[in-house]
């Protein structure tokens, strides 16, 4: 008799002697043993922990393969925690949270070696508080001259709920009683927040003014644009109309010019570093020489390139028309062979030491002077740092677009702050203007503050309203360049701030005649207690 494989027949029958494999009853009887030992599922269970809710419970073989999981306190079911705690001689309290129980089981063996010591007491209390969500700040004071066996334990909790306070005090006292040396006595002091500050919905953005001095780069660009009557090609004009950029105080070295030619103009560009500007706080100048053979009429434009918040800006320093006479003028002689006009001789002179061509020694225009940044009144900040900019103004502008109906009360509950990354206080006292749907704050930074906040600023917008706020924040920097005020945008970002619950807004508590708190969320006073 052949036994066909089916769901009602155990697969164990194939291991029976041949004569017993013909007995269908035995094959079906083995199905009960197979279900207990191996399970009847073709694929293993994906659950390593078996609970009362587990479906398709695997056989004993698979459970034994995963039995190591039950010995891990972080993964074992909570029902196994008392059993696992018994392995390490730990008594679990019923009022401990599951996470607290797991943390103690995992670390108690190591802590046994510290039992009775100050370090052990601090660590075991810290483990309890941390896993309970109440912080982990524990301090033990044991230096009391008149009380050699006395110590004081001080805990700091984040929550000021009275019910939680006394529950934590009771548990902490039980832990200390179990861990302290028998001959000692103590007092327990638990500190909680005495004033709850407002929880705010806020956004913060980082921005920079300039790069650190050693990384700052600048560029001066001089552009020549001929008028429409000019007949000289731009390429030829760029070679024959000579331009020089000079420092008013110190020459610029190294001096490398970049020439840029377009259809209607040509430019030269000189890259500068922080040291070049520091050496020439009185400014720079540009001189021209028209070495063509014709009169030149056109426009001169001088631009300054620099970066604010890693964005390159161009500022026009000088723009004016120019009319340049040619420096190449053929000499004219009188009857006595004396030169009476011109500056250029196209013939071999009779004297060997003289050249056959003579140019005038004064071929440059008068300097076109300009100032880059206003120099400071007091220059030296540190031995290796000199400020270039006397002062600048920062402005943070918040435009609120939501809600649609904006009033002064809503604006008063929105704060805008500019903060640096080197101090613990906000930059100076701002000038604040609130109008329509806009909040504008202004700050003036002189070079003493500027050099410390050059690398990073933080603008923060905070919401204290019980409604959603949306809008745009803009940060601008204004400074004098060539004695003209110029404004540049450091940052522009949109923001969405969620509403803040009235419970989280600072409100002083008010008590009724019976002394019960009937409104508010902030208590000004001491709420710490001592337990002996």
Tell me what pLDDT residue 356 has: 46
Q: Where are the domains of the chain?
A: 89-191, 203-210+389-504, 216-370
- Which of 54, 100, 55 shows the shortest CA–CA distance to 78? 100
The Cα–Cα gap between 452 and 423 comes to 9
The count of other CB atoms within 10 Å of the CB of residue 176 is 19
The Cα–Cα gap between 213 and 446 comes to 16
In order along its 532 residues, the chain shows pLDDT tens digits of 444 445 577 777 777 787 777 777 887 777 777 777 776 665 555 455 666 566 666 777 777 777 777 778 887 777 878 888 888 788 787 777 888 888 888 888 888 888 888 888 888 888 887 777 766 788 888 888 778 888 888 887 776 666 777 777 888 888 888 888 888 888 888 877 655 545 567 788 787 777 777 778 899 999 999 988 777 888 888 888 899 999 988 888 888 889 999 888 999 999 998 888 888 888 899 999 888 878 889 999 999 998 877 788 888 989 999 988 887 665 666 676 665 555 555 555 555 444 445 554 457 888 888 888 776 654 443 434 445 666 778 888 999 998 888 888 888 888 888 777 655 555 555 678 888 899 998 877 776 566 665 566 788 888 888 889 999 999 888 888 877 888 888 889 999 988 877 665 656 566 677 766 666 555 554 444 444 4
- CATH class of domain segment(s) 203-210+389-504: mainly beta
Tell me what pLDDT residue 330 has: 59
The answer to whether 447 and 390 have CB atoms below 8 angstroms apart is yes
Convert the pLDDT of each residue in 331-377 to its tens digit.
666 676 665 555 555 555 555 444 445 554 457 888 888 888 776 65
The answer to whether 324 and 365 have CB atoms below 8 angstroms apart is yes
Tell me what pLDDT residue 457 has: 78
The answer to whether 189 and 529 have CB atoms below 8 angstroms apart is yes
CATH of 89-191, one of 1.10.3470, 2.30.30, 2.120.10, 3.30.300: 3.30.300
Tell me what pLDDT residue 525 has: 47
Which residue carries 């677009």 as its tokens? 401
The answer to whether 212 and 452 have CB atoms below 8 angstroms apart is no
Pairing of strands 185-191, 150-156: parallel
Tell me what pLDDT residue 301 has: 95
Tell me what pLDDT residue 424 has: 55
Q: Which two tokens stand for residue 374?
A: 């206003």
Convert the pLDDT of each residue in 121-146 to its tens digit.
888 888 887 777 766 788 888 888 77
Tell me what pLDDT residue 383 has: 39
Predicted TM-score (pTM) of this structure: 0.49
Convert the pLDDT of each residue in 171-223 to its tens digit.
888 888 888 888 888 888 887 765 554 556 778 878 777 777 777 889 999 99
The answer to whether 526 and 194 have CB atoms below 8 angstroms apart is yes
The Cα–Cα gap between 309 and 346 comes to 57
Tell me what pLDDT residue 531 has: 43
Tell me what pLDDT residue 488 has: 85
DSSP characters for 184-229? Answer: -EEEEEEE--SSPPPP-EEEEEEE-SS--GGG-EEEEEEEEEE-TT
């Amino acid at each position: 008799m052949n036994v066909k494989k089916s769901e009602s027949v155990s697969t164990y029958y194939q291991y029976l002697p041949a004569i017993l494999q013909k007995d269908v009853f035995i094959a079906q009887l083995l199905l009960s043993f197979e279900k207990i030992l191996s399970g009847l599922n073709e694929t293993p269970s994906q659950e390593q922990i078996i609970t009362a809710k587990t479906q398709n419970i695997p056989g004993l073989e698979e459970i034994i393969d995963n039995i190591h999981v039950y010995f891990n306190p972080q993964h074992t079911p909570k029902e196994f925690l008392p059993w696992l705690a018994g392995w390490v001689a730990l008594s679990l309290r019923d009022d401990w949270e599951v996470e607290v129980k797991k943390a103690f089981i995992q670390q108690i063996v190591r802590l046994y070696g510290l039992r009775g010591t100050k370090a052990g007491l601090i660590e075991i209390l810290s483990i309890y508080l941390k896993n309970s969500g109440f912080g982990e700040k524990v301090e033990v004071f044991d230096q009391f001259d008149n009380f050699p066996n006395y110590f004081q334990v001080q805990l700091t909790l984040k929550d000021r709920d009275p019910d939680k306070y006394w529950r934590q005090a009771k548990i902490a006292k039980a832990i200390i009683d179990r861990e302290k040396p028998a001959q000692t006595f103590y007092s327990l002091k638990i500190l909680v927040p005495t004033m709850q500050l407002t929880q705010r919905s806020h956004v913060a953005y980082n921005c920079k003014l300039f790069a650190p001095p050693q990384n700052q780069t600048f560029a001066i660009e001089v552009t020549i644009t001929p008028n429409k009557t000019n007949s000289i090609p731009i390429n030829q004009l760029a070679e024959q109309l000579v331009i020089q950029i000079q420092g008013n105080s110190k020459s610029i070295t190294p001096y490398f010019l970049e020439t840029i030619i377009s259809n209607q103009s040509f430019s030269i560009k000189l890259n500068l570093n922080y040291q070049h500007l520091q050496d020439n706080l009185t400014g720079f100048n540009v001189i021209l020489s028209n070495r063509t053979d014709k009169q030149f009429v056109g426009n001169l434009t001088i631009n300054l390139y620099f970066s604010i918040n890693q964005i390159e800006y161009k500022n026009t320093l000088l723009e004016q028309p120019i009319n340049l006479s040619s420096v190449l003028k053929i000499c004219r002689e009188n009857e006595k062979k004396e030169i009476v006009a011109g500056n250029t001789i196209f013939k071999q002179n009779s004297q060997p030491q003289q050249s056959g061509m003579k140019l005038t020694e004064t071929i440059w225009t008068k300097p076109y002077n300009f100032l880059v940044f206003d120099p400071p009144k007091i220059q030296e900040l540190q031995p290796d740092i000199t400020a270039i900019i006397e002062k600048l103004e920062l402005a943070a502008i918040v435009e609120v677009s939501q809600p649609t109906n904006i009033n002064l009360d809503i604006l008063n509950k929105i704060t805008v702050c500019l903060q640096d990354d080197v101090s613990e206080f906000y930059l100076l006292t701002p000038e604040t203007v609130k109008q329509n749907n806009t909040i504008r704050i202004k700050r003036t930074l002189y070079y003493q503050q500027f050099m410390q906040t050059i690398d990073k600023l933080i603008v923060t917008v905070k919401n204290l309203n019980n409604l959603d706020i949306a809008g745009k924040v803009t940060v601008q920097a204004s400074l004098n360049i060539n004695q003209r005020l110029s404004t540049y945008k450091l940052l522009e970002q949109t923001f969405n701030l969620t509403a803040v619950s009235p419970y989280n807004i600072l409100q002083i508590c008010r008590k009724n005649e019976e002394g019960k708190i009937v409104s508010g969320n902030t208590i000004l006073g001491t709420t710490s207690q001592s337990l002996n």
